[in-house]
Structure 1
């Protein structure tokens, strides 16, 4: 294989080409008899899908989607759990040159609705148990612009389709569309402190950055059994639980079950996993509940992403698994760009307190807290990406949101501001300090305070609310809220439980405030901005 800089250039030339076709790159060019996806049930029974079967099944579903009028540039959303149906649906969307919009299955209808506002959404494919969230009502329109297809054997509502009926309705399987490297093939949504979710278009050329991380940081080899535990409704699970292993022509494991430490160990042992990527919460949960490992477990690589990983977890993993956990850093807008790399060609010293160094294709540094120039080694400041010095950089802006886009770049366009703060030593190792935009990193999920505050304000008792993250030994951070009540309401445990329930039902089941305090007023700056840092210290 060429040296890393040349390899990045080669991948950019291929994935950035005007003739780039996602379905060909991720599926059709690979051996038909090689396994692409292994779906694992809660009982540990596997279902294998080969690349040939993925091509055939996604082709038939794509033909059915085309029969509905879906074509290049149209948006198709999925509300699906991990597994074969997710892979087939996503590949069908990409086969048409359409754009995949992943939705997290824990989202409530209001959160889903926020992510369906783009007018090009033409179809939603969902698991049967997710179908009720799409019913017309408070959040969903009575006459939606999209069709609905479910994964079960029969349509659940009049006018619905199923994946099977889509596959049977097309007249001819369309050829894999070539949309080119600059066209989006994924539309993700990410949340920050204020405002609704921001839409992140992911162009085909971003595959170069995904391939670089998969190869150089994760060090996934052809003889590895690779498992990424993250949910494909989020960036890490989609980029590196599905896209990058398919891009490399390798197999990905997809566990269709909720997280459980003992089940995680069973999968590692039963399937002989040699390369595991997971959030720090997974490792912390294993440490808290598991005393000994089954002798069948023999992992070669452990990787972590989503939130900073503590040195204590690295020490524990090294003691139990015999190998350390390699911490990695990235964002939905970047993919992964920094880490402790596993591949021999770029292997770095493991410094557990740090995030590692920039991946091939990236230049990441720390800027002064105020001026847009690099801080001296060891100086605290803003973590930023050198746009021109990072050939793997692909993000150019949020869809339909120029103000939010402008806030992420310096005025001259030289630097992309990650919104994180930290420091960088003389050897280029980055050290994380905090989120600059107050987003909460819990169990690998990025939760925007705005989304939770919006849900809380729907309760008649709430006059004002401020949501922030507080440290948690297991999850990294948990959601906390300080609430100001309207006149006539009394604070108490019963009301706090009601507020948690409204967040579960109006935003997402995983994002409810674990801690709720009541106050007469919220600390604010003279301009009216909430002082979340003060609340974090006292909440």
Structure 2
């Protein structure tokens, strides 16, 4: 896309040219100079412990892991879970899977046992590579996942207990220089899980073309400036925008990535990381950017090489852009938009056109968009609210299917090939898109999409809860906060204690970011004629206060 002189020219002339033969392990790793630095691993935030891994080292380690996994019985087409934070073993495992023809299932270490159980069982994963921090959760659910034959835990034989196999042991059994599985852009590559709005999370099946689509998008929202770039994101590498839109997008373009596993987001530490590694491009959700605002004069306090910040996950607000102009005057802040199913297809890019504060941007080259009436599916007039629909010029860069859900797969797409987003937007006369709201019940909080159904299920596990409805409510820092309206089984003796017990239950079984920030008790919840909780009524009730 660097050959195009203007956004309009790129929109008219760009075509997806996917190769007949394609394996991301070759594209993201083996095609590059083996002595070039691929990953700067910074385990505890100091130069003394940083480890620079070259593309050649990543290639050899993933070779050894691939042949080691094959020796354990992992075959082409098998699903392999990856529950590893920003450590080298994360991308090494994905590359190893693709080298032997297996399918990756990216999962976050933030998940608790219930969330892990559902996804590993639903995907029928035969093996999972895990961080030691989730060992107890995996042991607790092992019997509930009948297909899960192998658990490979990071560490050596001295540090790994139980019947898990040490990651280093699997590497030692493997060989370098293996032949990469003969794949195409249509070969199954990964299963990523949605947040789930009206039911359990759905497994989104992607082919290898996904990674090419994400790399093209990143080139645009990073202002076409990825030559000799160094990229970093604080987001977990299990998420699509971090894994595909940052880590693997960088490697497609031959760039260096900083890996920094952390348990919390401390703004001064983040700025120190950006300085220490001369980071030029970063992906940060709006919540993270709001937290960075607590640091006074970052441009004066830190010797930053930062050029572009890309942001997504929740709508960008004017305060972030105003802060950026004042605190980081030489840094572009570009919002972009995508979905687990539909790739990253709308963005602001200062190199293409003048970004407009708080807008989503414009459709990227390779995608067409429409704004449709949610009822009639007919296009609405400019300036009117409707549902965003997207059509890729090449179908393969979007998802293949929802795992085991053919009816939901069909419902995601119109008869004439437009993919529906459930996001309500406006389009202005200059072609900019403006986010209005979600059409479904998904909550956008802290940069994550949280489905209320899974949270409600976790809250209902408390014996003192009769019924619950979970909704998102406005929050200045996180965009939305999670609120649970609980109908207790009886009058609680200690309401505050019950609130904390409910929060702890959700934290332990789902993910730390999914616990309800606010818990309200009610004698009765609004329901439909079929007995379902009316979340819309709960949101309206909250707005009236």
TM bucket normalised to smaller: over 0.9
SS of equivalent to 2:508:
helix
How far 1:20 moved relative to its partner?
1.1
- 1:26 aligns with one of 1, 24, 28: 28
Secondary structure of the residue that 1:115 maps to in structure 2? helix
- Once residues 282 and 325 of structure 2 are traced to their aligned partners in structure 1, the CA distance between those partners, rounded to angstroms, is 14
SS at match of 1:13: coil
Superposition pairs of residues 140-539 of structure 1, within 5 angstroms: 140-141=143-144, 145-154=148-157, 156-170=160-174, 174-218=178-222, 219-257=224-262, 258-293=264-299, 294-322=301-329, 323-342=331-350, 344=351, 347-386=352-391, 389=393, 393-410=397-414, 412-487=415-490, 489-490=492-493, 492-539=495-542
**Cα distance in 2 between the residues matched to 1:69 and 1:424:** 52
Q: CA deviation at 1:231?
A: 0.8
CA displacement at 1:288 relative to structure 2 = 3.0
Separation (CA, whole Å) in 2 of partners of 1:321 and 1:338: 24
Q: Partner of 2:34: helix, strand, or coil? A: coil
CA 1:527–1:144: 2 relative to 1, 3 Å: closer
Unpaired segments of 5 or more residues in structure 1? none
Q: Secondary structure at the match of 2:512?
A: coil
1:490 positional shift: 4.7
Task: Answer with 363-372 or 475-484: which moved more.
Answer: 363-372
Cα distance in structure 2, aligned partners of 1:491 and 1:403: 45
Return closer, same or farther for 1:527/1:366 CA change in 2, 3 Å cut-off: farther
Q: Distance in 1 between matches of 2:123 and 2:317?
A: 43
Unaligned stretches of 5+ residues in structure 2: 5-9
Following TM superposition, the consecutive aligned residue runs of length 4 or more in structure 1 with deviations greater than 6 angstroms are: none
Whether the 8 Å CA contact 1:90–1:100 is kept in 2: the answer is: yes
Q: Is residue 45–residue 273 contact of structure 2 (8 Å, CA) maintained in 1? A: no
Question: What residue in structure 1 maps to residue 7 of structure 2?
Answer: none
Kindly tell me the number of residue pairs found equivalent between the two proteins. 529
Q: TM-score under structure 1 normalisation? A: 0.93
For the 8 Å contact 2:386–2:425, the answer to whether it is kept is yes
The change in CA–CA distance for 1:319 and 1:208 in structure 2 (over 3 A counts) is: same
Greater CA drift, 333-342 or 164-173 = 164-173
Whether the aligned pair in 2 keeps the contact of 1:189 and 1:198 (CA below 8 Å) is: yes
Question: In the alignment, is the contact (CA less than 8 A) between 1:317 and 1:325 conserved in 2?
Answer: yes
Tell whether the 8 Å contact from 1:187 to 1:202 is kept in structure 2 after alignment: yes
Provide Cα deviations, 1:15-46, integer angstroms capped at 9, x if missing partner. Answer: xx2x2122111111111011111111233332
State the distance in 2 between where 1:6 and 1:221 align: 23
In angstroms, what is the RMSD of aligned CA positions? Answer: 2.1
CA change 1:120–1:487 in 2 (3 A) is: closer
